[in-house]
Amino acid sequence: MTVGKMVSCAHPNEMIIVLILYHGSQVESFTPTYGNDTNDYGRGFYTTADIELGREWAVGQQANADGWLHAYEVDLGALKVFDFADVGVLTWLAELMKHRPADDTPSYMRDSVRFISRYGVDISGYDVVKGWRADASCFFIARMFVRNQVDVSILGELLSLGNLGVQYFFQSERAFVALKERQDLKERVPMAEYKSRFDARDDQARRRMVELVYDLSRNPLEHVFSELIKETGNGASV
Residue type, 184: D
pLDDT of residue 63: 66
* List of residues 6+ apart from 10 with CB closer than 8 A: none
Q: Is residue 233 part of a domain?
A: no
| Distance separating alpha carbons of residues 236 and 152, to the nearest angstrom | 12
Question: What pLDDT is recorded for position 150?
Answer: 94
Tell me how many domains the chain contains: 1
pLDDT at 112: 93
Domain assignment present for residue 237? The answer is no
- Three-class SS state of 6: strand
**pLDDT value for 12:** 38
Evaluate if pTM is beyond 0.75: yes
Does residue 235 lie in a domain region?
A: no
CA angle 52, 53, 54 (to 5 degrees): 90
CA terminus-to-terminus distance, the chain: 28
Residue 209's pLDDT is 87
The pLDDT of residue 5: 35
User: Are 119 and 94 in contact, with CB atoms under 8 Å apart?
Assistant: yes
Whether 122 is in a domain gets the answer: yes
Contacts of 13-18 with C-beta under 8 Å, sequence gap 24+, read 14/77, 15/77, 16/75, 16/77, 16/78, 17/75, 17/76, 17/77, 18/73, 18/74, 18/75, 18/76, 18/77
Give the CA angle between residues 184, 163, 35 to the nearest 5°: 55
pLDDT tens, the chain, 238 aa long = 333 433 333 333 457 789 999 999 999 998 998 887 778 899 999 999 999 999 998 997 666 899 999 999 999 998 999 999 999 999 999 999 999 888 989 989 899 999 999 999 999 999 999 998 877 677 888 889 999 999 999 988 887 776 668 899 999 999 999 999 999 999 999 998 998 888 888 788 888 888 999 999 999 999 999 999 886 444 444 5
- Residue 238 belongs to some domain of the structure: no
In 3-state terms, what secondary structure has residue 179? Answer: coil
Range of the domain at 96: 3-228
Whole-angstrom distance, CA of residue 35 vs CA of residue 43? 5
